[in-house]
Amino acid sequence: MPRVSQEHLDSRRHQILNGARSTFARFGYEGATVRRLEEATGLSRGAIFHHFKDKDALFLAVASDDAEQMMDTVSKRGLVGVMQDLVAAADKQETRGWLGTQLEVARRLRTDPEFAAAWGQRWVAIAEASRARLQHQRDIGVLREDVPIPVLAGFLQLVYDGLTRYLATGREDIELENVLRLVEDAVRKPDGR
């Protein structure tokens, strides 16, 4: 039997994650049937589940992949940077898939205790990255000092959650760039530009 290269395995895994992300976003977790996953990935159930134990493991991998990308952006540009990227790419298919995954994660956190337990460490890591970025901003004199870091982090998280839901609706009746400037101004020192 011929050996498959790691590059091929990684490419196949990436193909599965992308197809699954769009399927979960479009149909939700329950509606993401094996048939729909096969259609979206262009692969058989055997190929899909060779890489992932089951649908739950696949969804967790999609959500984890998204969380890793989010943590990377948060550590470099903060949660406002994540929001700016979402607004800039709101009409792209990959962003719609990411938004759908975020909404499904939120739903499963409320309704699925096992998922919530498995997801807990990822959520903690994102929150810590956000607080570390805010502390760095405060240390270099850019962030306002009259509000504790946990409160600022909570404020940004609430705005992010609202933005995610807004973008997922497909509405376009708010000038989001201006809203994000207002959010950024709310956490910065008046002279900290």
Which pTM does this prediction carry?
0.78
Residue 53: predicted pLDDT: 93
Structural domains of the chain, count: 1
Residue 96: predicted pLDDT: 66
CATH number of the domain enclosing 149: 1.10.357.10
Domain encompassing residue 140: 6-187
Residue 134 domain flag: yes
Residue 192 domain flag: no
Longest dimension (CA), the chain: 66
The per-residue pLDDT for range 13-72, each reduced to its tens digit, is 999 999 998 898 888 888 999 999 999 999 999 999 999 999 989 998 998 888 888 888
The per-residue pLDDT for range 67-93, each reduced to its tens digit, is 888 888 888 888 888 888 888 877 665
pLDDT at 95 over 80: no
C-alpha to C-alpha distance for 51 and 66, rounded to whole angstroms: 18
Residue 1 domain flag: no
